[in-house]
Amino acid sequence: MKFLPLQTPNRTIMTPGPVEVDPRVLQAMSTPILGQFDPAFTSIMNEVMEMLRYLFRTDNKWAFPIDGTSRSGIEAMLVSIIEQGDKVLIPIYGRFGYLLTEICERYGADVTTIEREWGTVFDPEDVIREIKKVQPKIVAIVHGETSTGCMQPLEEIGKACREMDVILVVDAVATIGGTDVNVDEWQLDGVIGGTQKCLSVPSGMAPITYNDRIEKIVLSRKKVERGIRTELDQQMATGQTIISNYFDLSQLQDYWSPRRLNHHTEATSMLYALREGLRLIMEEGLDNRFARHRLHERALMAGLEAMGLTLFGDKRFKLPTVTCVNIPQDVDGESVRRMLLDEFGIEIASSFGPLHGKIWRIGTMGYSCRKENILKLLTALEAVLIYHGVRINRGEGAQAALSMYGKQRKESAFSSVVHR
């Protein structure tokens, strides 16, 4: 046999996803398979729904994962509510705003976009003014733009959408589980999360939640299949049939309801992984988890700046889970990344579009977001930059992070916040 058993190198992953997975999640994934209608399995499905309501901070009836990567959750949400010609407004401030646009256009929406320069976010007033002008059925927006390291405040937009009876769909793939996403308080109607980012579960599922405003649209668009669905279903079907089978939320919610109407075969091992990832989040507590992400982000930023590097983007709207660093002049950013990976086993990310070759993106997400990783990265980056002839403040980076952690230790002597 020319193929050896699978063997992968040990990596320290400091990208905006996929990130390192907690060993307890990996262990859960090797749990034996159960049949999809086995009560032992359906009770796990119900537990996951309950845990997702905690994660999203919602009382919504519907909170379950879509099988597929994060964009599968985005597609399921959008294809299930967009009818041919529906007006959708998309405020774009980075790459993933374009993904929302592309998906909405494919599903036949009449899309209006407004754009902000990469590295900043929208003043909510500007979005609200545009909503009044366009009068869309749906506003779709990204919460945390991994491409620029910026985070859009959503509270005012949520309130305005509710008052104007507009549906608000939010891509919270990069923020869920790493920083606050308060679905009910911020009045978000449909929200999509991701697993391979701050949940520290492998890529392959997209947890979503949506409220009764969205459910009403979904039910009006139900495809009536003879022999499976009831007469009541038939009476409610007044809208255009949802054009996707795999992403049809009306069928998916029947599968996740006590009716357990067959749709796809649930991704057994991924569900085990998601359940364990969510259990670990509940064990840590959301607020402690957000504080941990903030702490390591602050230590990283302090280290990078002490080294003499500069950060990209408007700091007032910085995404706590991604830090963007301006690549110093006269150095090949890709060569630095390659050396970090080859010599130190550390991965950081490059960037897209207008920022390609201009910034590195460093993720502090989930299980990857811990002290040893921050200190390893700062130490290795210093060595690699010196090797590349970049003039930096030698010996300052890790020290600045260490003193940030020292300060934290003193502070936490007076509080009960737990940091790993």
Among 13, 21, 53, 71, binds ligand PLP (CB under 6 A): 71
Among 44, 173, 270, 365, binds ligand PLP (CB under 6 A): 173
Q: How far is the CB of 17 from ligand PLP (least distance, A)?
A: 5
Task: Report if residue 321 touches ligand PLP, rule: CB under 6 A.
Answer: no
Question: What is the DSSP track for 336-356?
Answer: HHHHHHHHH-EE-B---GGGT
Task: Report if residue 351 touches ligand PLP, rule: CB under 6 A.
Answer: no
Main-chain dihedrals φ then ψ at residue 317, nearest 5 degrees: -120, 30
Measured CA distances, 122 to 141, 156, 157, 190, 192 (Å): 11, 11, 10, 20, 20
Task: Report if residue 93 touches ligand PLP, rule: CB under 6 A.
Answer: no
Nearer to ligand PLP by C-beta: 113 or 399?
113
How many residues are recorded in the chain?
420
Nearer to ligand PLP by C-beta: 193 or 333?
193
Q: How far is the CB of 142 from ligand PLP (least distance, A)?
A: 5
Binding residue per annotation — 361? yes
Q: How far is the CB of 171 from ligand PLP (least distance, A)?
A: 5
Q: How far is the CB of 246 from ligand PLP (least distance, A)?
A: 15
Task: Report if residue 194 touches ligand PLP, rule: CB under 6 A.
Answer: yes
Helices (H), ranges, 285-389 = 286-306, 333-344, 371-387
Measured CA distances, 9 to 3, 12, 15, 362 (Å): 16, 10, 16, 20
Stretch that binds ligand PLP, among 120-128, 141-149, 152-160, 269-277 (CB under 6 A): 141-149
CA distance 15 to 11: 11
Q: How far is the CB of 143 from ligand PLP (least distance, A)?
A: 7
CA distance 109 to 92: 16
Nearer to ligand PLP by C-beta: 142 or 161?
142
Residues 318, 322, 327, CA angle at the centre, nearest 5°? 95
Q: Is the dihedral of CA 108, 158, 165, 212 positive or negative?
A: positive
Report the 3 state secondary structure along 266-291: CCHHHHHHHHHHHHHHHHHCHHHHHH
Using the 8-state DSSP alphabet, how is residue 123 labeled? -
Q: How far is the CB of 194 from ligand PLP (least distance, A)?
A: 5
Task: Report if residue 17 touches ligand PLP, rule: CB under 6 A.
Answer: yes
Among 12, 15, 36, 69, binds ligand PLP (CB under 6 A): 69
Task: Report if residue 96 touches ligand PLP, rule: CB under 6 A.
Answer: yes
Task: Report if residue 385 touches ligand PLP, rule: CB under 6 A.
Answer: no
Task: Report if residue 220 touches ligand PLP, rule: CB under 6 A.
Answer: no
Nearer to ligand PLP by C-beta: 12 or 146?
146
Task: Report if residue 210 touches ligand PLP, rule: CB under 6 A.
Answer: no
Stretch that binds ligand PLP, among 65-73, 82-90, 382-390, 403-411 (CB under 6 A): 65-73
Tokens of 136: 């869309």
CA distance 61 to 358: 44
Nearer to ligand PLP by C-beta: 17 or 190?
17
CA 235 remoteness from chain centre: 37
CA distance 57 to 183: 6
CA distance 172 to 180: 10
Nearer to ligand PLP by C-beta: 124 or 178?
178
Among 31, 203, 269, 393, binds ligand PLP (CB under 6 A): 203
Task: Report if residue 171 touches ligand PLP, rule: CB under 6 A.
Answer: yes
User: Is there a contact between 122 and 113 (Cβ–Cβ < 8 Å)?
Assistant: no
Task: Report if residue 142 touches ligand PLP, rule: CB under 6 A.
Answer: yes
Residue ranges in contact with ligand PLP by CB under 6 A: 16-17, 69-71, 96, 142, 144, 146, 171, 173-174, 194, 203
